[in-house]
């Protein structure tokens, strides 16, 4: 009996078109645009200026404040300007523009292919190294990882959970990383265990990746304290709270964090980035991006340098198909639709999906027939039909009583609704209004 979270969840078609395609490196582009805010928290402060020559792996911006991350150059070349650039949604933020020249790396980075198993750093040094190397959550959340390695006083962590679930349809970057860089990931996990001072790590992998499960299980036998757990295929199994519930049967209380039930969760891709940072001195400058879509000529899993324009990536994989109606940054359930294809690839971009025009538009909106399917699929046991009506009518206090801020925005409700109602659109509106109102009350 495979473990899973007990209630809720949906089964979108998996469409893992690229599961069997090995990771390929995309050539370094001619220009990169590296945004200064690729993570949750305050944007980083640039430490280079126009005209400076930078090398691959060099620090170009320092994290500012408690929740922030460093940013490194992914190429070598000249900084042409520090100006605003639009992200995939057309919203602007400051970025470092670099004209690429060659590919000269800083000499502290170990570029050899040897796998280094011996962990020389102490826990405190590991945490410092993660911050210095700009490591953030690679599953898409981009939370600065070093913060999740500092267990707050008064709380205890007894298990490290590694998220190898990748429950979103289409995405396969973690899958390929586990298959091709499994040992590095396990070393990364051991590093994280050392930093957290825990003896036990559990890797959750959805059962639609039998090859990855087999590979990681056999490799994990050579490591201490790491176990691999296949999980039932159900979306959103990869959501933090659902993963913790499935693996160790503990529910993170409303409004709290996983550490409150003794668990810390890191993505498998983050573990790989930690390995590279701690064992190879390599900061986060590139990531595996699944570029996929039913009409693409060359779908695959590509290692892309941070800052490569999206248009550049799409050129390299055969160009945008003529029938494309929508481009998604991330997975189809929680990703954002792209309106600006010149936007750069950032640390949290796990996938780019090209949807044909026939599948792109939304369903027509019909009245709610109170079928209660949204209630039965919500993994947090909320009532989306009610939350949508409350948010639409502006009854935000009542929405808060109905726990609207507990919503994890997984999209299961909108996915299921037979009447095509935009449930999540309004729930998100309610959540952001509630959070804004709460913040204003605190400021008052």
* E strand spans, 18-111: 23-25, 31-35, 45-46, 53-54, 59-62, 71-72, 77-86, 92-100
> Measuring CA to CA, which residue among 164, 321, 280 is closest to residue 231?
164
- Quick one: tokens of 86? 């639009």
| Residue whose CB is less far from other proteins, 5 or 272 | 5
Query: Quick one: which of 211, 253, 393, 437 contacts other proteins (CB under 8 A)?
Result: 253
Show the site string, 72-91: x = touches other proteins by CB under 8 A, - = not.
------------x-x--xxx
Binding to other proteins by residue 109, rule CB under 8 A?
no
CB of 209 to other proteins, least distance (A): 20
Binding residues among 153-182 for other proteins as defined by CB under 8 A:
169
- Quick one: tokens of 246? 């499935």
- Check: CB of residue 207 under 8 Å from CB of residue 230: yes
- Check: CB of residue 362 under 8 Å from CB of residue 420: yes
| Residue whose CB is less far from other proteins, 280 or 431 | 431
CA distance 98 to 96: 6
Binding to other proteins by residue 437, rule CB under 8 A?
no
Sign of the alpha-carbon dihedral angle for 161, 165, 171, 175: positive
CA distance 237 to 214: 19
Binding to other proteins by residue 257, rule CB under 8 A?
no
Helix axis angle for 182-196 and 173-180, nearest 10°, is 100
Binding to other proteins by residue 246, rule CB under 8 A?
no
Other CB atoms closer than 10 Å to residue 152's CB: what's the count? Answer: 11
Three-state SS letters, 374-400:
HHHHCCCCCCHHHHHHHHHHCCHHHHH
Query: Quick one: which of 357, 435, 437, 438 contacts other proteins (CB under 8 A)?
Result: 357
Binding residues among 53-72 for other proteins as defined by CB under 8 A:
none
Query: Quick one: which of 362, 440, 443, 444 contacts other proteins (CB under 8 A)?
Result: 362
Binding residues among 309-328 for other proteins as defined by CB under 8 A:
320, 322-328
What is the separation of C-alpha 151 from the centre of its chain, rounded to a whole number of angstroms?
Answer: 21
Binding residues among 370-399 for other proteins as defined by CB under 8 A:
370-373, 375-376, 379-383, 385-386
Binding to other proteins by residue 111, rule CB under 8 A?
no
CB of 415 to other proteins, least distance (A): 5
CA distance 301 to 208: 17
| Residue whose CB is less far from other proteins, 210 or 253 | 253
| Residue whose CB is less far from other proteins, 102 or 253 | 253
CB of 74 to other proteins, least distance (A): 25
| Residue whose CB is less far from other proteins, 62 or 251 | 251
Query: Quick one: which of 274, 338, 346, 349 contacts other proteins (CB under 8 A)?
Result: 338
Show the site string, 8-27: x = touches other proteins by CB under 8 A, - = not.
--x-xx--------------
Binding to other proteins by residue 36, rule CB under 8 A?
no
CA distance 302 to 392: 41
- Check: CB of residue 245 under 8 Å from CB of residue 251: yes
| Residue whose CB is less far from other proteins, 102 or 418 | 418
CA distance 61 to 129: 16
Binding to other proteins by residue 355, rule CB under 8 A?
yes
CA distance 352 to 160: 29
| Residue whose CB is less far from other proteins, 277 or 313 | 313
| End-to-end C-alpha distance for the chain, whole angstroms | 52
Binding residues among 225-244 for other proteins as defined by CB under 8 A:
241
Binding to other proteins by residue 344, rule CB under 8 A?
no
Query: Quick one: which of 3, 78, 409, 434 contacts other proteins (CB under 8 A)?
Result: 409
Strands 201-206 and 159-163, how do they pair? parallel
By CB under 8 A, which span of 63-71, 142-150, 210-218, 252-260 interacts with other proteins?
252-260
């Amino acid at each position: 009996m495979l473990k899973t979270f007990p209630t809720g969840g949906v089964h979108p078609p998996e469409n893992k078109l690229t599961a069997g395609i090995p990771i390929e490196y995309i050539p370094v582009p001619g220009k990169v645009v590296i945004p200064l805010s690729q993570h949750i928290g305050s944007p980083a402060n640039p430490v280079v200026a126009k005209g400076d020559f930078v090398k691959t792996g060099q620090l170009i911006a320092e994290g500012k404040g408690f929740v922030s991350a460093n940013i490194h150059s992914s190429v070598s070349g000249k900084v042409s300007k520090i100006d605003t650039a639009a992200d995939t949604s057309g919203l602007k933020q400051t970025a470092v523009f670099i004209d690429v020249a060659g590919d000269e790396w800083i000499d502290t980075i170990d570029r050899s292919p040897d796998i280094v198993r011996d962990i020389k750093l102490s826990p405190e040094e590991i945490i410092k190294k993660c911050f210095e190397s700009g490591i953030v959550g690679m599953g898409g959340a981009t939370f600065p990882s070093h913060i999740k390695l500092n267990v707050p006083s008064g709380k205890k962590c007894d298990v490290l959970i590694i998220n190898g679930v990748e429950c979103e349809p289409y995405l396969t970057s973690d899958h390929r990383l586990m298959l091709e860089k499994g040992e590095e990931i396990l070393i990364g996990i051991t590093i994280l265990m050392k930093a957290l001072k825990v003896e036990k790590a559990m890797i959750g992998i959805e059962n639609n990746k039998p090859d990855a499960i087999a590979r990681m299980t056999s490799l994990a036998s050579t490591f201490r304290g790491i176990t691999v757990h296949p999980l039932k295929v159900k979306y959103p199994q990869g959501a933090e709270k659902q993963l913790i519930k499935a693996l160790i049967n503990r529910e993170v209380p409303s409004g709290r964090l996983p550490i409150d039930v003794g668990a810390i969760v890191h993505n498998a891709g983050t573990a790989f980035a930690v390995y590279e940072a701690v064992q190879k001195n390599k900061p986060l400058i590139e990531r595996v991006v699944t570029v996929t879509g039913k009409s693409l000529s060359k779908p695959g899993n590509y290692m892309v340098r941070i800052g490569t324009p999206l248009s550049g990536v799409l050129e390299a994989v055969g160009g945008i198909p003529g029938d494309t109606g929508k481009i998604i940054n991330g997975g189809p359930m929680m990703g954002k639709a792209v309106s600006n294809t010149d936007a750069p690839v950032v640390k949290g971009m796990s996938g780019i999906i090209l949807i044909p025009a026939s599948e792109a538009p939304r369903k027509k909106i019909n009245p709610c027939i109170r079928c209660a399917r949204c209630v039965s699929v919500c993994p947090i046991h909320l009532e989306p039909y009610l939350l949508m009506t409350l948010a639409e009518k502006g009854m935000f206090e009542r929405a808060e009583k109905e726990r609207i801020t507990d919503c994890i925005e997984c999209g299961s409700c909108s996915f299921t609704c037979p009447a095509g109602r935009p449930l999540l659109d309004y729930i998100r509106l309610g959540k952001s209004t509630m959070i804004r109102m709460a913040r204003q009350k605190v400021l008052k």
